[in-house]
A and B are shown apart, each in its own frame.
Chain A
């Protein structure tokens, strides 16, 4: 299986503070990969580096390559990146309420996505917009609506429709359902999965919600402190976590627990740039020893592995 996205040694810096360190990540063609972690773990910055939309003053280094694009994406100029964005890589953001232009009709905003890259003739853009909206189950009269006339869930479906307008090889979703009511989350997730499957697009799905990853993704990467600490197929990682952070995250999400108290990971995520040397998780880890002051090496391979000196599940391995 060829890789659509190959990220090598990605680091993201703001001034002298490193927010993401040495991230390696691949997404296969049509593969659905989840990126999970707490806020501040660097998952959104990783995604924004891939599409080249980091905020001002935030810089990425390393390598990001996309299949079918013959240049390096990190450091590519605006002219070349703008041709990649929306055509080869598209993105759905967290906040649907503010993601659409309030003064432009929905139809024009969706049609624009097609027109920018000239993937369809001008005369067909309108019909294309109607079809795209139909595929996210929005009625045709949505074309004439303004964003304020739609609910959050409807707006997120519009954002999804325009992201998928040019059948991108990779769709990035950054917490696409976090801001939505639980009742519409399932529909939006379903439309995302169906949208990428229909187009054989790959999906990089960012969330902190483990249940969502389990339903949407095939493979998962766990991030903490700007590093990937564990990766593997969803079923393996969720049933037999190896990194102690993954283990804690799963325990905290376990709703079947018989004890009355919710399980938490002790301590807080340190502020950016204040992560300890060596294993970034050692200050919150019950298993940490002096050995953890050295960075743990990656055990396993590209597709499945972890970085921990004292992995869980050794007894039954």
Chain B
């Protein structure tokens, strides 16, 4: 088990290192000189050269890479070429906002998918199961931003129950924070929940056909008890895989949903960075997103081992 964990940690660190090279290289080959962009088209060549030196852009690429990486490892994300402001604190603030969205969205997705998927599987030949299937099928087809706009129209504009947009940190006003969190989290969570429901359904259907469930019933467990005690943990293994992939999708979905709800999250920061040609900022935000996705994958790997004892030997 320990070996397996060391192995997964190794994979995580190597992927992180490789992706940092890729992110850096991708930004480096993009046309356009950050110093020229920062100073505008009318700046003199000398001014641009001075700024390049100031940013360290005149140094060889490997040096720049290791400088950037060294900074990252110390939590220093550098200074924006455009606004001349330290990037680290901005990213950190925005990350907290996005994390709230993603975590709330995931919880909503799970709260919908686990019961609905299980009921759909257990009643897959009954009307109730088929009806739920149809509803989830519709949910799968709706993109998150459209769900967001629909939710705003219904709950904010027509009914006036919740604010249409904005963001308040939880420490400042918890009530307002929750009110403003509900709609964006729902627009992320409903769609992901519909997708996840399909996976939970098929995982539970597979488990229902397993021999050990028949053994459990032969012991004297009723069908639902047998599924609960012996089925769910086994069904969780494939569901966790999908959950990991979905968290990555949620991060990307958050970028769009933050725009719709005017929320100052990481997604908005990224889009601002792109439109301002703030290359280092974009590079840092992308790296943080990559780190988040890799971290999720690592956690999924660890969860596998926790869920399935058969995986507790190193491969």
Residues of A within 8 A of B (CB): 51, 53, 56, 78-79, 82-87, 90-91, 93, 95, 98-104, 112-113, 116-117, 146, 148, 159, 162-163
Minimum CB–CB distance for B290 against chain A, Å: 32
CB distance from B129 to the nearest CB of A (A): 13
Number of contact residues on B: which range applies?
20 to 34
Main secondary structure of the interface of A (DSSP, over half): mixed
Tell me if A146 and B310 are in contact (CB < 8 A).
yes
Give the tally of cross-chain contacts (CB within 8 A): 72
Question: Which B positions have Cβ atoms within 8 angstroms of A?
Answer: 125, 210-212, 214-223, 229-230, 233-234, 307-310
Bound Cα distance A259, B13 (Å): 70
Point out the residues of chain A lying under 8 angstroms from B308, CB to CB: 102-103
* Complex alpha-carbon distance, A83 and B230, angstroms: 18
- Neighbouring A residues of B307 by C-beta, 8 Å: 103
A102 touches B220 (CB 8 A): no
Residue of B nearest to A103 (CB): B233
Contact residues in B for A78 (Cβ distance below 8 Å): 222-223
Q: Which chain A residues lie closer than 8 Å to B214 at the CB level?
A: 53, 93, 99
Min CB gap A82→B, angstroms? 5
- Please tell me if the beta carbons of B219 and A102 are within 8 angstroms of each other in the complex: no
Q: Which B residues are in CB contact (< 8 Å) with A84?
A: 220
Q: Which of B217, B218, B310 contacts A163 (CB 8 A)?
A: B218
A90 to B215, CA, bound (A): 10
Chain A: which residue is nearest B211 at the CB level? A98
Q: In the assembled complex, which residues on chain A have CB atoms less than 8 Å from the CB atom of B125?
A: 56
Q: Which residues of B contact A117 (CB under 8 A)?
A: 220
Across the interface, name the chain A residue whose C-beta is closest to B229.
Answer: A112
Beyond the given A101-B212, A117-B220, A162-B219, please list 14 additional residue pairs across the A-B interface where CB-CB is below 8 A: A51-B218, A78-B222, A82-B222, A83-B220, A86-B218, A87-B220, A95-B211, A98-B212, A99-B212, A99-B214, A101-B216, A103-B233, A104-B233, A116-B221
Interface centre among B212, B233, B310 (most CB of A within 10 A): B212
Determine whether the beta carbon of B215 is less than 8 Å from that of A116.
no
Q: Which of B210, B218, B310 contacts A53 (CB 8 A)?
A: B218
Chain A residue nearest in CB terms to B230: A101
Closest B residue to A148 by CB, please name it: B310
Show 30 A/B contacts (Cβ-Cβ < 8 Å), sorted by A. Answer: A51-B218, A53-B217, A78-B223, A79-B222, A82-B220, A82-B221, A83-B220, A84-B220, A85-B220, A86-B218, A91-B218, A93-B211, A98-B210, A98-B212, A99-B212, A99-B215, A101-B212, A101-B215, A101-B216, A102-B234, A103-B307, A104-B233, A116-B220, A116-B221, A117-B220, A146-B309, A146-B310, A148-B310, A159-B215, A163-B218
Asked if residues A86 and B211 are in contact (CB atoms below 8 Å), the reply is: no
